[in-house]
Structure 1
Amino acid sequence: MQPVVELREIEPGIALITMQDRVYKNTFSDDLVKGLAHAFLTVKETERYKAVILTGYDTYFASGGTQEALLAIFEGQLKFTDSNIYSLALECPVPVISAMQGHAIGGGFVIGLFADFVVMSRESVYTANFMKYGFTPGMGATYILPRKLGLSLGNEMLLSGSNYRGADLEKRGVPFTVLPRDQVMSHALELARQLAEKPRLSLVALKDHLVETARAELPNYIAKEVAMHELTFHQTEVRDKILSLFGK
């Protein structure tokens, strides 16, 4: 059986992390969360790696929290901070490329945006759909969406919870490469090859400098998101929406 998260060195210095939970469509199951944490730890501890490509399978990149996890947060049994996967790419010492060849939903969209490079597909759906269920965003979404997409579009996606195709976002001027799905991985690999030509020490030093502000500011946003969850997540309406709308 294929592992839910697979780490391979596809070329010298280039690590490919593939999320491939076909049963749960790359929602944040326990196996996916643990697999991602282990893969990024391995990258951190392996000094020959100079770049990481993070991708999904077929038409899915990552699908965010499971219905069970969302209901557990509603019941007060869980917080999204109990397992920090949202900032794995940000904290990774070497540059990370999100090859978002497939749909990226909720927290799945957020973890992709924390990468240093983002490549989207025109056909796929991208959404920060937290408010679709009536609860405020988490996982650093309120920080990273306005920062990466611009204040107007980022806030629009957060407040509306609507779906956007990659082609729609391309028209809105997102500062990322948007390609047909079958070209996303090849473009990500070309980026990774450019990075792998550089000394690892230089890549690590420059990334540390470039993301220093984000690493410092994010914890404050996370604390505010947790506080908003305490205020908004425990409404009966939220539970009903999680039960009736999940996966639609």
Structure 2
Amino acid sequence: MIQSVVDLCEVEPGIVQVTMHDRVHKNTFSQELILGLIKTFETIKANLSYRVVILTGYDSYFASGGTKEGLLAMHNSKVKFDDVNVYSLALDCEIPVIAAMQGHGIGGGFIMGLFADFVILGRENVYTTNFMKYGFTPGMGATYILSKKLGFSLAEELLLNAGNYRGAELEKRGIPFPVLPRQEVMAYALELARQVAEKPRISLITLKNHLVTPIREQLPDVIKQEVKMHEMTFHQAEVKERINRLFGK
């Protein structure tokens, strides 16, 4: 199966790779990318031979968060980020997902990767939760999953500061993920996938479900709170100005 900007390929028996490559939009959450990801994970769910997923991007981009049009639509109250759930596709996937972030992870794109069961970062890449740079509070479950995966202190810093952090800097800060040279990320992910795929599928599904059930149960309330914060912060005139200015660069 090949989507226009999302490829699905069984690279080895039981190991399926999902590659995001919306080169026009640099893997921001365009409609093409969102629909491609949703359809791809539906295909994965229907295939009973798959045991592990590798989710990755192209060149120096993993995923880059909201488009200018999408953010302005939220500013104008035309849509909400929870209208379509792309952020927790990896969490909701029955089988384990490896986020091979061989490229930059920006905003919601970084958060989407953190919902995976395994996370691999590149030393040279930028990772940021830059919601507040645009003047609105974080969404997509960022206020929960970032703290869950990185610890409260670092998560609070990333969310409030909204700065850019290279993988090498996050490695020095002690994040609990492998951080490798960009060109080594995919090879590491494939070897990890081989180790996972050796296990029985039903055992992988059963254990993952047990491990992530608390996250799946708590996330809906977090999303509701983030939507409420958006109602207070997203519609400021300054937010629109920031969106236009930052995308104009």
Shift of 1:247: 6.7
CA distance in 2, matches of 1:59, 1:27: 13
Map residues 157-236 of structure 1 onto 2, 5 A cutoff. Answer: 157-236=158-237
2:99 alignment partner in structure 1: 98
Residue 98 of structure 2 is aligned to residue 130 of structure 1: no
CA distance in 1, matches of 2:20, 2:82: 20
Query: How many residues matched?
Result: 248
CA distance in 2, matches of 1:195, 1:206: 12
Shift of 1:149: 0.6
CA distance in 2, matches of 1:178, 1:132: 25
- SS for the counterpart of 1:211 is helix
CA distance in 2, matches of 1:31, 1:232: 28
1:243 alignment partner in structure 2: 244
CA distance in 1, matches of 2:104, 2:71: 19
CA distance in 2, matches of 1:201, 1:2: 28
Map residues 54-93 of structure 1 onto 2, 5 A cutoff. Answer: 54-93=55-94
Which TM-score applies when normalising by structure 1? 0.99
CA distance in 1, matches of 2:106, 2:203: 33
Q: Percent identity?
A: 65
CA distance in 2, matches of 1:215, 1:76: 27
CA distance in 2, matches of 1:2, 1:117: 24
Residue pair 2:3, 2:36 contacting (<8 A) in 1 also: no
Deviation track 1:47-67 (CA, whole Å, cap 9, x = no partner) reads 100000000000000000000
Which TM-score applies when normalising by structure 2? 0.98
Deviation track 1:115-148 (CA, whole Å, cap 9, x = no partner) reads 0000000000000000000000000000100110
- SS for the counterpart of 2:7 is strand
State the Cα RMSD in Å.
Answer: 1.0
Structure 1 unaligned residues grouped into runs of 5+? none
- SS for the counterpart of 1:10 is strand
Deviation track 1:130-182 (CA, whole Å, cap 9, x = no partner) reads 00000000000001001101100011100111000000000000000000000
Residues 2, 92 of structure 1: alpha-carbon distance in 2 compared, 3 angstrom cutoff: closer
Residue 152 of structure 2 is aligned to residue 151 of structure 1: yes
Structure 2 unaligned residues grouped into runs of 5+? none
CA distance in 1, matches of 2:51, 2:174: 30
Runs of 4 or more consecutive aligned structure 1 residues displaced over 6 Å after TM superposition? none
Residue pair 2:100, 2:120 contacting (<8 A) in 1 also: yes
